Amino acid sequence: MTPLRLAWANLVHKRARTFVAAAGVAFAVVLVFMELGMLGGVGRTATMLYDKLQFDLLITSSEYLDLSRAPEFPRQRLVQARVDAVDDVIPVSFGVAGWRAPRQESLFGDTEPGGQLSINIVAAPPDKLNKAFVVGESGAFASEAEAIEAGKRLKQLDTFLLDRRSKPDFGDLAKLQAIPPDGRGGEAVRLNGQRASVVGGFDLGTGFSWNGMLLTSEESYAKYAMRPRDAVHFGLVQVKPGVNPVAVQQHLRRTLPPDVKVYTRAEINADERNYWLRLTSIGQFLLVAVILAIVVGVIFVYQMMAADIRNMLPEYATVKALGYRPPYLTGVVLWQAVLLAVFGYVPGFVAALGLYHVASNFGGIPTAMTLETAVGVLALTCFMCLASGLLAVRKVHSADPADLF
Amino acid sequence: MSSDAQNNPSPTPPLRREGLNPAPPPFLGEGVGGRGSSPLPPPGQPVLRIRGVNHYFGTGDTRTQVLFDNTLEVMPGEMVIMSGPSGSGKTTILTLIGGLRTLQEGEIEVWDANRGDYRTLRGVPEPELVNVRRLIGFIFQRHNLFDSLTAMQNIRMAQRLKESAADPDEAARDILTYLLLGEKDIQSKSQKSRFDYKPAKLSGGQRQRVAIARALINRPKLVLADEPTAALDANSGLAVVTLVQELARVRSETDLQKLVRPAEEAGENGRLAEWQVPLLRKIATEHGTTSLIVTHDSRIMNLADRIVHMERGRIESNVVVAERLFVREGLRQSPAFAAILPEEQEKIADSVLVGVHPNDPVRPDHLAAKPGCVEVYEPGQAIVRQGDAVNAESKFYLIRRGIVDVSRVVNGATQKLTEMGSGRYFGEVAFLMDQPRNATVRAITRVEVYTVSRATFDKFRSVSLPFIERVLANFRAGDGTPRT
């Protein structure tokens, strides 16, 4: 009877207790998955816009901290960045505006339009949408043709594209498109108090930074956001084929004035993640939540295992009296812990998949199950159960065979 | 003496341990003195030796002594019954022997057949006590089986520590079947085997039998048991006791067949089925197992080789049953002691016991432990001499081992009167008649004799005086044959 077989027999024999213990582990697993999912969502939020933009190098203001606090810099820098190795430099602006909440339909009755919702706006040259944004299956536009067509529509002043993945609070895209811009019919799309037209959609997604996003031309942006035309937030630098972006980055850093910074894609992503995960309260909160979830799991599993061991102390004492050495008993308890980890992980993983789906599609939180997360949580679960087992195993060693007589 | 020797030879008490000594017993193998694998210790050496064991519970002000200077030796193959009231220290001493507690003071040595040497428990740290536990089969009153394992798997837990059987599963099935948990019942009818039953589906007695099977499956040389038959019916109890006995020593087929009897004859003593006997032989392929059993079950008490009685943490008496019977029978045969009240006679007998089976020679340490009870004479040495005056130092002798020559000088010529061996006695007439010794008794071989001093005799005589007077009257009216 190997320690593994005895551990298995113990768990199978006490099915109800094992079920409760596994449920406890599963609960902890779900907690960890959700906190990690949220944390991942924060990370994805950080780079969500950049992931949809096409660039090899990104020019920002030297005072840039993160996307939500991106200062403007002179548009002239984009011209200066057009060196020989650079194919194009596309200006992008990013800001926030007030969106008039549309009429909402719900099971509990319709709500009247009105109220102010905060919405983000990203602006780019309409004729370069296909070059500024990623197109394709996971891009902002499904195809280059769609991007070109959308660009044509945005050439008209006061027109906007609404992110199809924006929260439902901002309204249904089809209905918003149907609202005439002149206010006939009693309803109007209003941005910062001015009438606007929604002429189509694009795909970006929401996260912890924003709940909805508009895409428009630089002209419309300047009008609605009331920002100067000679300043931009980002410059998307696209180098010529075969050119090393890092070499261009070094060149631009040398030649551009110090009021701008030049990032590679990897650098801006890393900075943005670092900012969100380490420096914002939400990142720290979620990190602490992950640790708490593990601690809760350890305590729960420890309680279950300790109670189990207490019940089995005479049996363990008998094993000691038979002449088994302490490592055998340790092995039994630790195998029991590992099996519990597996029993708890599987349903926890399945539940987490479902919850991720709900969070992504209905909660607007960009959670996603990755292989790294799945394997990492499995390892964490094993660690959690083994830690509980190691705490509990002291009780096993306290089993006194002399008490058997 | 001579007339007693010639005309009224005292019968030798039938105290031979079947299959055991005179050393070396056939099943025990040749014990060896040095290191090396040997199933049993050298001849005459115990399998368990306890010396001066004290034990305390608690620390500081609450430290309480529970065992007081206990000394005991147990010989191979003995069935030892531990008796005494609750709290007398039986269990504590069992746990110390089994290495379940750390020995605090004194010495305990257990024969390790694998090493061919004693394993001492003094100063042994907890992890090494595991090696001692593996030598021992424990039978707990509370069965302490693994609830999650079947009967077979519980036994395999013990087998895993000593994979000696060619087919461990078959060995486990055999012992369970023998203990009536297999496919046959006591009436040889088929029944559903309990091999794959978990403890929850077994009765208390069935669980206890599984626990016993687990303790005995590795054929340990030492078994420590606490009320092993308390939960068992008569037939199961007999099966267990017979197995323990068979592991201790080979029993004749005739003896075993006596246990195969009809239910109406068996009564509360239980019986074996015909099919159990060959299975018992198959299971008990090794012998020499010593068992220390705490029990109040009279069925076992009557089979004991040694009864150790404890009171308030001390071994108050350590009686080898065969030795007690030997001495009592020896005294009873003597006309002098036969006249003493039976209970007084038993007190005299018990006062000279040295705790060694009469088949086994006494060692100097036995003599030192109970001085004056047994004397040893080398060949040619005179034990009593003709004409020696009788005084307070004079003794009565019961031959324990060896042969003596009885002779007398008549008219300058030495006449050999007789030779006497184990179980015979001499020297009682001097006590009664207050006359000088009338013959010389000399050891032919190495001789061990139990001795009763005149002071002891006189003490009990005063209690039983009316009886002695009556015996004296018988002697005075006798045939005039001289006696020592």
Nearest to A273 by CA among A25, A41, A112: A41
Pairing of strands B48-57, B395-401: unpaired
Predicted confidence band of residue B9 (pLDDT cuts 50, 70, 90): very low
More confident residue, B429 or B355: B355
Statement: residue B425 has pLDDT above 70:
yes
For B157, which of A13, A312, A322 is closest by C-beta distance? A322
Is the Cβ of B66 closer than 8 Å to some Cβ of chain A?
no
The neighbour count for residue A397, using CB atoms within 10 Å, is 14
Q: With CB atoms and an 8 Å threshold, state whether A323 touches B140.
A: no
User: What's the pLDDT at B465?
Assistant: 64
Q: Examine domains B2-15+320-476 and B48-304 and report if their fold is the same.
A: no
Predicted confidence band of residue B165 (pLDDT cuts 50, 70, 90): low
Q: With CB atoms and an 8 Å threshold, state whether A12 touches B160.
A: no
* Cβ-contact A175, A80 below 8 angstroms: no
Q: With CB atoms and an 8 Å threshold, state whether A10 touches B148.
A: yes
Q: With CB atoms and an 8 Å threshold, state whether A402 touches B133.
A: no
B160 neighbourhood in chain A, CB within 8 Å: 1
Predicted confidence band of residue B339 (pLDDT cuts 50, 70, 90): low
Q: Give the mean pLDDT of A341-361.
A: 92
Is the Cβ of B148 closer than 8 Å to some Cβ of chain A?
yes
* Cβ-contact A28, A300 below 8 angstroms: yes
Q: With CB atoms and an 8 Å threshold, state whether A404 touches B138.
A: yes
A10 neighbourhood in chain B, CB within 8 Å: 148
Q: With CB atoms and an 8 Å threshold, state whether B161 touches A324.
A: yes
For A405, which of B95, B131, B153 is closest by C-beta distance? B95
Q: With CB atoms and an 8 Å threshold, state whether A402 touches B161.
A: no
Q: How is residue B321 written in tokens?
A: 């049953």
> What gap in Å lies between CA A22 and CA A126, rounded to an integer?
56
Q: With CB atoms and an 8 Å threshold, state whether B100 touches A1.
A: no
Q: Domain spanning B48-304: which CATH class is it, in words? A: alpha beta
Residue of B nearest to A9 (CA): B148
Mutate to test the interface with B, among A318, A329, A330 (most CBs of B within 10 A): A318
Local structure of A39: helix, strand or coil: helix
Statement: residue B35 has pLDDT above 60:
no
The domain locations on chain B are 2-15+320-476, 48-304
Instruction: Give, for B294, the enclosing helix (H) or strand (E).
Output: strand B290-294
User: What's the pLDDT at B446?
Assistant: 95
The domain locations on chain A are 3-45+281-404, 63-258
Angstrom distances, CA of residue B396 to CA of A322, B432, B482: 50, 11, 16
> What gap in Å lies between CA B477 and CA A341, rounded to an integer?
96
More confident residue, A280 or A228: A228
Q: Give the mean pLDDT of A23-36.
A: 88
Computed over every residue of chain B, the mean pLDDT equals 83
User: What's the pLDDT at B470?
Assistant: 65
Is the Cβ of A325 closer than 8 Å to some Cβ of chain B?
yes
Is the Cβ of A9 closer than 8 Å to some Cβ of chain B?
yes
Computed over every residue of chain A, the mean pLDDT equals 88
What confidence tens digit (pLDDT) does each residue in B172-202 have?
999 999 999 999 888 888 899 999 999 999 9
Protein fold of B2-15+320-476: Jelly Rolls (2.60.120)
How much is the CA Rg of chain A, to the nearest whole Å?
29
Statement: residue A209 has pLDDT above 60:
yes
* Cβ-contact A129, A232 below 8 angstroms: no
Predicted confidence band of residue B443 (pLDDT cuts 50, 70, 90): very high
User: What's the pLDDT at B472?
Assistant: 67
Query: Which amino acid appears at position B211 of this protein?
Result: A
Q: Give the mean pLDDT of A17-35.
A: 88
Helix axes B151-159, B168-176, angle to 10 degrees: 130
User: What's the pLDDT at B7?
Assistant: 34
Q: Phi first, then psi: what are they for B343, rounded to 5°?
A: -70, -30
Residue of A nearest to B142 (CA): A404
Question: Which of 13-72 (A) contact B at CB < 8 A?
Answer: 13-14
CA distance A295 to chain B (A): 30
Is the Cβ of A108 closer than 8 Å to some Cβ of chain B?
no
More confident residue, A328 or A306: A328
Question: Which of 79-98 (B) contact A at CB < 8 A?
Answer: 91, 94-95, 98
On the CB side of B397, CA atoms within 13 Å amount to 31
Query: Which amino acid appears at position B399 of this protein?
Result: I
Residue of A nearest to B131 (CA): A323
User: What's the pLDDT at A93?
Assistant: 94
